[in-house]
Structure 1
Amino acid sequence: MDKKYLYTEIANGIAAQIRNGILKSGDKLPSVRKLCKDHQISMNTAKRVFLELESQSLVDSKPQSGYFVSNILSVKLPLPEVSKPSLIANNDEPDELINKVYENIGKKDITIFSIGIPSGDLLPQAKLKKEIINATRTLKEGGTEYEEIQGNLKLRRMIAMRSLQWGGNFHEHDLVTTNGGMNALSFCLMALGKPGDTIAIESPCYPGILQLANGLGLKVLELPTHPTTGIEIDALKKVIPKIDLCLLIPNYNAPLGSLMSDEHKKEVVKILSENNIPLIEDDVYGDLYFGSIRPKCCKSFDKEGNVLYCSSISKTLAPGYRVGWIAPGKYKDKILKLKLLHSTSSISIVNEAVANFMKNGYEKHLQQMRKSLQNNYQNFTQTIAESFPEGTKTSRPQGGLSLWVEFDRKIKTTELYDLAIKENISIAPGRMFTLQDQFENCMRLCIGLPWTEEIQLKLRQVGTLAKKIYG
């Protein structure tokens, strides 16, 4: 058997025993050596088994002691349902609700579980400040000149080098820098769509994408989406005749945190390419994986240049720096024309600083951040299991910043928001993530806050307020 599938098969067997209660919280698992002996596998394959289980937050490693079943109770919480949106394009945008939630950005007296960005406490702020100063010293004219249209050459080279991790194999000439991830998506939608065109997206979906598509006059068709594996492929096949373009977040989708398998990514790319439907891929969360290996992207399987790959550092390094990029494939000329028209140049000092940090400290920072986010996920789900109403369901992300919570239908999260904000707590009601009448009993929590006793107390307060509504 292929080693890749062998370690997955063994890991799935142990995971099933944990989820079925055969192995209980705190139980010690066989050592790496015993696993090798029992399954006739190499040390590397055995280690991959435990890394896979760690990525699912099912086991914890203890130095000098081995591996133990995780103490988190989230394994007992059921998964949210697969979404079932109408397959008719809809544009009922919840503007008032979105504005109400997003107006809390930057307010220091509010605990913000609602906005999907990492806390500054998880970011290397001192090192970034030094890189900004260094950039003003090393750039020609102190960074006051325009960059070339495609963007900072050093940054594009670093992005291209990092793409080798997931099979992107970019060249610096394949990339165009933008002013953040939403700017990248905006260029792609403007280049490919026209008012009246239909775009297929996941459901639920990041509110900014919904607002952007609506603002450009596109019809939005939401696809059924599994909380763990992403869009339902059969549903995509059925709507192919109706759509003109597609936008997906295959790696740790916001808000579900779902992760499409390589097989599904490959099939999606094939289906869309055969029908000459462009795919815009948003990969802003791809570097925030909890396991040992960064997931591939749809772009990894793109042979025709039909995938426009978009990403940024907004979720990993510095949201306020507004540094993003596109690998637009065969649509490069259209993207460059739009960039020239709308922004001409990216911010040279910031792009140079980010490029230097990517070269010297980015990977170490990401390793620390991924560990913090995984620990946060465990702490969040344990607190939810202990403090939220009976029947609560949660997603099981393997990376990213989002945790999706589904309550009993008696609990309306718009009402929960109003109660929580009076306690200086902001949540993101599920209705924000759709243009249809659904997800009224759901919410998204951002796990990008440093875990403290205060954060735990605030999360418990949300659970108490939910119980109050439930009665």
Structure 2
Amino acid sequence: MEHNYLYLNIAEAIASQIRSGVLREGDKLPSVRMLCAEHEISMNTAKRVYLELETQALIESKPQSGYFVSNLYYDEIPLPQVSSPILLANNKEPKEIIRKVYSNMGNRDITLFSYSTLYDDFLPLAKMKKEIVAASRAMVHGGVEYDSVQGNINLRRMIAQRSITWGGSLKEDDIITTNGSMSAISLCMLALGKPGDTIAIESPCYPGIFQLAIDLGFKVIELPTDPVTGIKIDALREAVDHIDMCLLISNYNTPLGSCMPDENKKEIVELLDKHDIPLIEDDVYGDMYFGTQRPKCCKAFDKTGNVLCCSSVSKTLAPGYRVGWVSPGKYKNKIMHQKLVHLISTPPLMQEAVASFMKSGNYDKHLRKLRKDIYSNYQKYLNTIITSFPLGTKVNRPQGGLSLWIEFDPRVDAMDLYDLAIAEKISIAPGRMFTVQEQFQNSIRLCIGLPWSAEVEYKLKRVGELSKQLLHNE
């Protein structure tokens, strides 16, 4: 009997050849019968291989002719530049831009490319509703009482078991539950810092992170960041004598989409540990990889407990569930104190439901389908951007996550583009909202969490047309 996922292995091998350029646009692939003979598989398995590649928009079928590599244009589009912020503490928070963009949150009359979240068919809503009902029946008093300060034991146990997927070996006692990943990050900042302290972050960076830091009275240093490999370690090394803590999204960060190589993660962990600088790691996108293997966390290289690893199900199940956690290492007592002071407890019902969903195997099943669907979405978004946006537009090529970072010609002002787009009920995220410095004025972030449709394609093309309009007006 053929292995259930044999077709995925064969599909990934062909996909790798396409991505690497071994197979190029227009190349004809073996017929279904030839694929059966080459790999000694059934006709049904061979068809599933090509269906998988079609779903990823890597190949296309032509009636009476067979299967061909799609027109992807990968070699023709440049990557965004490595960011080059000034290595000085800064706090020029773009409050008005952030307010404008987030004022549309939840408005389904607008096409929301601006928020890094999943929508509609990507979410297992029906299954989770059943889990919530079952949890309310199973829990004493229906889950209405306070839970322990550390959080739901079943959820902590499942998170500990799952830590092996990213190179960890956590125990349930190593974990504290929170109200989402930002809640975990907030508790870490409160526990580790005081007004006047300096925190180092990526550049560009998720605005909620530097907003929180500034509200707590911290100074912010942005580090140069590569769209493929993450922060430049030499810049971090230069900054260590001037910072009190560091916060990084090491896997598929938003908005740039970079993923640090393992050797970089190890070097960063050792560098910060040597200087006794705690590292807060946000791994909220780690499970959303496009390849065959989940990336490790910085926490996997932590030998002294100096890394506080935060995550949640907000990007994989639903943001509204507010189920998150932190593995705080040697700072556990400090985090527990902050949680008691600021939260007292976390709602046990949703945590129990998520724990049950994980234990049943349904979460992993959901993730397998989600990764495939998001990757297909990514391909369609990328192809549309390449064909519809101005010539010379730079686009990142993330290997996971939900963010596309687009860099236009310097003559395109992202705020002007935002104003034109929102007038047509399209919301984008201008690049300036991801920094506390005056940079990224000609960049935007687009989220790929909206399921592909004719309307999404039309609206995405309109963003490209509007950016061309701004160029022609110059």
TM-score by length of 2: 0.88
Residues 282/61 of structure 1: CA separation in 2 closer, same or farther (3 Å cut):
farther
SS in 2 for 1:250: coil
Matches within 5 A, 1:150-229: 150-229=150-229
Match of 1:127 in 2: 127
**Sequence identity of aligned pairs in percent?**
60
Given residue 140 of structure 2, which amino acid in structure 1 is its aligned partner?
Answer: K
Compute the displacement of 1:318 (Å): 1.3
Match of 2:434 in 1: 433
The whole-number CA distance in structure 1 between the counterparts of 2:411 and 2:167 is 46
The whole-number CA distance in structure 2 between the counterparts of 1:217 and 1:116 is 26
Match of 1:444 in 2: 445
SS in 1 for 2:238: helix
Residues 67/201 of structure 1: CA separation in 2 closer, same or farther (3 Å cut):
farther
Match of 1:376 in 2: 377
Compute the displacement of 1:24 (Å): 2.3
Match of 1:5 in 2: none
Matches within 5 A, 1:392-471: 392-471=393-472
Residues 67/101 of structure 1: CA separation in 2 closer, same or farther (3 Å cut):
same
Specify every segment of 5 or more residues in structure 2 that has no aligned partner in the other structure, as ranges.
1-12, 35-48
Task: List structure 1 runs of 4+ shifted beyond 4 angstroms.
Answer: 10-17, 28-31, 57-62, 65-70
The whole-number CA distance in structure 2 between the counterparts of 1:205 and 1:219 is 15
Compute the displacement of 1:26 (Å): 3.3
Residues 30/295 of structure 1: CA separation in 2 closer, same or farther (3 Å cut):
farther
Residues 66/134 of structure 1: CA separation in 2 closer, same or farther (3 Å cut):
farther
Residues 68/303 of structure 1: CA separation in 2 closer, same or farther (3 Å cut):
farther
Given residue 470 of structure 2, which amino acid in structure 1 is its aligned partner?
Answer: I
The whole-number CA distance in structure 1 between the counterparts of 2:398 and 2:227 is 8
User: Do the aligned residues in 1 keep the contact of 2:291 with 2:399 (CA within 8 Å)?
Assistant: yes
User: Do the aligned residues in 1 keep the contact of 2:18 with 2:69 (CA within 8 Å)?
Assistant: no
Match of 2:87 in 1: 87
Compute the displacement of 1:427 (Å): 0.1
The whole-number CA distance in structure 1 between the counterparts of 2:84 and 2:14 is 30
User: Do the aligned residues in 2 keep the contact of 1:110 with 1:424 (CA within 8 Å)?
Assistant: yes
Match of 1:343 in 2: 343
The whole-number CA distance in structure 2 between the counterparts of 1:200 and 1:66 is 53
Aligned residues: 445
The whole-number CA distance in structure 2 between the counterparts of 1:109 and 1:400 is 25
Match of 1:233 in 2: 233
User: Do the aligned residues in 1 keep the contact of 2:57 with 2:380 (CA within 8 Å)?
Assistant: no
Match of 2:366 in 1: 365
User: Do the aligned residues in 2 keep the contact of 1:73 with 1:381 (CA within 8 Å)?
Assistant: no
The whole-number CA distance in structure 2 between the counterparts of 1:15 and 1:235 is 35
Compute the displacement of 1:372 (Å): 1.1
Match of 1:42 in 2: none
The whole-number CA distance in structure 1 between the counterparts of 2:85 and 2:28 is 43
1:294 aligns with 2:313: no
User: Do the aligned residues in 2 keep the contact of 1:246 with 1:280 (CA within 8 Å)?
Assistant: yes
The whole-number CA distance in structure 2 between the counterparts of 1:13 and 1:353 is 37
SS in 1 for 2:445: strand
Given residue 220 of structure 1, which amino acid in structure 2 is its aligned partner?
Answer: V
The whole-number CA distance in structure 2 between the counterparts of 1:399 and 1:212 is 25
Residues 272/336 of structure 1: CA separation in 2 closer, same or farther (3 Å cut):
same
Residues 59/207 of structure 1: CA separation in 2 closer, same or farther (3 Å cut):
same
The whole-number CA distance in structure 2 between the counterparts of 1:430 and 1:325 is 29
Compute the displacement of 1:27 (Å): 1.9
Match of 1:43 in 2: none
Residues 66/214 of structure 1: CA separation in 2 closer, same or farther (3 Å cut):
farther
Compute the displacement of 1:232 (Å): 0.6
The whole-number CA distance in structure 2 between the counterparts of 1:285 and 1:66 is 37
Please give the root-mean-square deviation of Cα atoms over the aligned residues, in Å: 2.9
TM-score by length of 1: 0.89
The whole-number CA distance in structure 2 between the counterparts of 1:281 and 1:185 is 8
Compute the displacement of 1:70 (Å): 4.6
Compute the displacement of 1:15 (Å): 7.0
Residues 337/466 of structure 1: CA separation in 2 closer, same or farther (3 Å cut):
same
Matches within 5 A, 1:306-345: 306-345=306-345
SS in 1 for 2:368: helix
The whole-number CA distance in structure 2 between the counterparts of 1:182 and 1:346 is 14
Compute the displacement of 1:347 (Å): 0.6
Specify every segment of 5 or more residues in structure 1 that has no aligned partner in the other structure, as ranges.
1-9, 35-49
Given residue 202 of structure 1, which amino acid in structure 2 is its aligned partner?
Answer: E
Match of 1:6 in 2: none
User: Do the aligned residues in 2 keep the contact of 1:74 with 1:381 (CA within 8 Å)?
Assistant: no
Match of 1:385 in 2: 386
Given residue 152 of structure 2, which amino acid in structure 1 is its aligned partner?
Answer: N
Compute the displacement of 1:75 (Å): 3.8
SS in 1 for 2:177: strand
The whole-number CA distance in structure 2 between the counterparts of 1:317 and 1:246 is 28
Given residue 171 of structure 1, which amino acid in structure 2 is its aligned partner?
Answer: K
Compute the displacement of 1:96 (Å): 0.5
Matches within 5 A, 1:38-57: none
SS in 2 for 1:281: strand
Given residue 129 of structure 1, which amino acid in structure 2 is its aligned partner?
Answer: K
SS in 2 for 1:79: coil
Given residue 365 of structure 1, which amino acid in structure 2 is its aligned partner?
Answer: H
Residues 290/104 of structure 1: CA separation in 2 closer, same or farther (3 Å cut):
same
The whole-number CA distance in structure 1 between the counterparts of 2:75 and 2:468 is 21
Given residue 160 of structure 2, which amino acid in structure 1 is its aligned partner?
Answer: A
Given residue 76 of structure 1, which amino acid in structure 2 is its aligned partner?
Answer: E
Deviations 1:220-249 (A, max 9, x none): 000000001100111111111111100000
The whole-number CA distance in structure 2 between the counterparts of 1:133 and 1:142 is 9
